[in-house]
Each structure stands twice: as C-alpha cells, then as structure tokens.
Structure 1
C-alpha cells in the first residue's frame, strides 16, 4: 500500500511539473533561487581557514562528500579544491571520497579503475588523480589517496555488508577520521549506513532492510580479476529524521555565503547511529520500524 501511494504521488508530481525527474527538477529550482539570494564570493583564504577550524589538519584522514553545484561562489576548479584539501592534510594525511559507480549492473564486468562515479564532480575528478586507490565494491566503492589509503580500501571486496566491519566506512572510525559534507548535508553522510550493518545480527529490524545478495565480477587495470558478493539493501530511508539526535557534540556546522559545511569525527558519528539503532530510532521508514523488531536477538554476536 505504501509503495502504491508513493507511485501515485510521484505520477501526480510528474504531471504537475511536466518533468519525469521531479526531485532533480526541485533541486534545480532551489539552486536557481539560491544563486539569486547568495551572491557573496568566498575567498580561498576564507575557505582555507574555515576548513582548518573544522578539523582539516596535517596528518588526519579526511572523508569528503560534496555537491559541486554549491561551489558557485568559490573561485576554484574541482582539481584546485582537491589540491587545497591535500595541502591542508600534508604528506601524512589521507583524503577519501565516495566513488559509487554510475552503472551498478551486476551482469556487467565492474572495471574498478575506469568506472565513473555518480557521487559528484569532485569525486569523479579525485578518482582520476594519480595514485588514487579505489575499493572494489559495485554499490559503495571508495577512493583514497595517502598513507592510510590501502588500509581503507583493501578489504572492501571481502565484506558481505557494504558499510560494515572492514569496510572503508568503519575503518574511518578506526583511524579517527574527520568527515566533511561540503554543500552536501547530513542526509548525504554515508556513514549512517554503518548502523544497519553493525546491528544486522543483533537487532531483527535491520535484517529486514536487506534482501538477498548481489554477486558480480570485477577487473582491475592490471588485469587482476575476481568475484564479490554483498547484501542488497532494499529499505527506504529519510536520514533527516535522525538529524536532531546529532547535536553539536557530534556535528559542527559552518556556512560561507551559500556554502554549508558539516563536520564530524567518524567514530562518535557511527557510535551515535548504532546507539540510536539499538533504541529503535532509525532513518528507515520502510520496512516499518515496529518496536518489537528492535528487541535484541538471543543469538546476537555483537
């Protein structure tokens, strides 16, 4: 019934707007309006200092999710933004970004070192940087550059849970990484998904957000090939439902002209998501989060 209702609403919105991609149309309209409201240029020096204030410091591991559409007041090209981040991190720092493939057809060969990403222009430019390492994962691949890059990405294709133990996302927490959402808010923070993976065995509800597995073949540029299988997520989410539970003790917020930046340390961020999940507080609306589904399983290994 819920899915039928959503389909009806979607069709009505498509008819009213004359657009097949209603969400994309709404985003375009918001961006159009934002450009007329926020016109103050952001200097490179100003951006640099704000990033330092938010914890981008030498030697750290930094995770960045972004929307390049929001950089219209920043006088930098994507490559220059990447260079700025790398300069702040120094030679001992590691930069990582999502590299989720555009084409996730499991019947096709996943070309790890060539497949373009849908996670934004900054991520795609970063993927093409010299010496960048990319994890092998058809749905949730990650790119990284720096001393901790290998540790972050090397075991992703050995995991059954996309965002669970030994994935780059949980390893961000192990490295005490800083996470930034630049022009991409709280709802885009992929680390939220670590909760359903870490609680899969413990809390029955989270077993319901996965259905079966996906198996695919992969190949690296050096000719190395293999197969990987991971659990398929089917649940429907509304991440903003969790935002009020991540206060200033977890998430810092800043703004430069139109550009919003969210910053958080990976470990407490993921720990908070897991704690909330145990309490039955989740971003999932489908399956319906009924209280009885959050009673811990007796066979829990966590």
Structure 2
C-alpha cells in the first residue's frame, strides 16, 4: 500500500470515527471489549509460577515492557508488581525497563532523574524507585536496578546509534537477558531496533531509516552535565510483520485470563532480527524496502 493510499485511508477513518488518533481509539475499543469477555481474576500464585516458568529466575537479567491497562485482572498495584519481579530475580538479578521521555525537545535540558516516561505506568513507578538508575538518552533511555544495571546503562550517552553496540539493548544480549512483554506484545519489543543499528554500515537500506542527528544537553540530579548527539530514526514500521519469523524456538506465548505474556532470550531474538534484516525481511514499510537496497556493502557493522 502506497503512502498516499495509507494517508487517505487514515484521514477517512479519522472522519468516520471522529477521532484524530485512530490507533489509540482502536486500542481503547479492544480493551473495552476485552474487559467484557475476560473477567476471571489472576491468582498471584498463578502469576508467580507463570513468571518462573517463563524464565524469571534468581540471578537473571530481565527486560520488561508492559501495558498496565492489560493488568485489570491482576490484583496488584504497580509497586507490588515490581516487588514481585525483584523477589523472583533475587539480589543477584537485574530488572530493566524502557524509560523513553515524554518530552524529547532537544532545545530543553534533559533532566535525567526527573523526566517522566511515556512507556507506561509500571515503567514510571519503576523510574521513581530510589534504587533505580537511568541511562542518559533523550529518545531511548532505560531504567535498571541490580548488579548489571551499571553495565547496561553507563555508555548509552556515548553511543551514536540509539540501539546499537554499547547501548543497553545490545548489552541485554551480552548478559543473556530474558525479555518479557506483559500485555504489550511483540509490537512493543524495542530490541528489534538493534537491527537497523547493527546493519547500518552493512546494508544500504538501513542507512535510509536515519535522517541526520539530534544533539541535546543533559543534567543529573547530582549536578553532572553534558551533551550527547545521536542518529535520528525516521520511517514507518509494522513490527507484527516479523512475528511469524519468531516461532517457539525464539518466542514463547503465555496467557493468564486476559493478560498475554511474550517471553524470549535477548541474544537469539536480536540475532534472528539481524538475520532477517540481511535477507531483506524488515518491519519497515517506509522507506520502501526494495530488494536492491539489501545487497551487502563494504564496511564494518555499526
């Protein structure tokens, strides 16, 4: 479907529905219907055992992306959900979540320890935990707590590629991290973006999904200040296009009442995404992924 056709369809849907945010409206309608169908409360013991079965075990590094709207049958507050995860991981485990700032205006100073996130209520509650640390990145920062938190976060503001080498996302693979999507699903698995960073120099197509750089200033609560410049990603994506390529050898699906949970190990997950990228299989629909753009070019991987 061309960009013109998609744009026309979007404007038509906005007019018919009387909504400017068609996707948001669709999500709210889906949630409303789900609440009518799925009414069974989730027992905490069942949730705990499900998480253990999905790899949330002592000493692991866990990456969690979530949609708290989908936890309506789970009788826990966000802080209690975080406590449950940390209890399962134990003192030697590390918990990490996305902490992408709501305000990404590069003309304003990014207040690392204060800027709220748009990645969900659970992430925001986690960010506010006194023990939680946050990486310095205006668009793709990450929060973490635990023994591996420093390694995950410390170099994010030194990277040019938001999800590339030395970013928290690629370091998840190095740490044999387990990834969970709770109520968020495959579409929200941010480590998929490692592909365009790792293949930036190798595959011409992935150079087209970036357009210049963004430079901003940052400041921590302790008074540290600095500047950081990173590549600006553009384009239009449909991550669900890749889902069929991530079978049970990579991704496991589970469900408790309405709550869907997706689990995967970071290393094979990212490796599969990169392999697909080399074959011209991508979540991008803009720029158009023309086959000739996936011929390997000289250069090292970014």
Measured against the shorter chain, the TM-score band is: over 0.9
Within 2, Cα distance between the matches of 1:26 and 1:291?
Answer: 33
C-alpha displacement of 1:14: 1.3
Indicate the residue corresponding to 2:56 in structure 1: 56
Within 1, Cα distance between the matches of 2:105 and 2:169?
Answer: 23
Q: Does the CA-based 8 Å contact 2:200-2:301 persist in structure 1?
A: no
Corresponding residue SS for 1:25: helix
Indicate the residue corresponding to 1:245 in structure 2: 245
Within 2, Cα distance between the matches of 1:73 and 1:196?
Answer: 37
Q: Does the CA-based 8 Å contact 2:180-2:263 persist in structure 1?
A: yes
Within 1, Cα distance between the matches of 2:286 and 2:25?
Answer: 25
Within 2, Cα distance between the matches of 1:56 and 1:300?
Answer: 35
Q: Does the CA-based 8 Å contact 2:201-2:298 persist in structure 1?
A: no
* Stretches of 4+ aligned residues off by more than 6 angstroms: none
RMSD: 1.1
C-alpha displacement of 1:235: 1.5
Within 1, Cα distance between the matches of 2:38 and 2:117?
Answer: 29
1:280 maps to 2:280: yes
Indicate the residue corresponding to 1:190 in structure 2: 190
1:41 maps to 2:54: no
C-alpha displacement of 1:301: 4.8
Structure 1's unaligned 5+ residue stretches are none
Structure 2's unaligned 5+ residue stretches are none
Within 1, Cα distance between the matches of 2:281 and 2:299?
Answer: 22
Indicate the residue corresponding to 1:180 in structure 2: 180
Deviations 1:57-112 (A, max 9, x none): 00000000000000000000000000000000000000000000001111111000
TM-score by length of 1: 0.98
How many residue pairs were aligned? 302
Indicate the residue corresponding to 1:216 in structure 2: 216
Indicate the residue corresponding to 2:265 in structure 1: 265
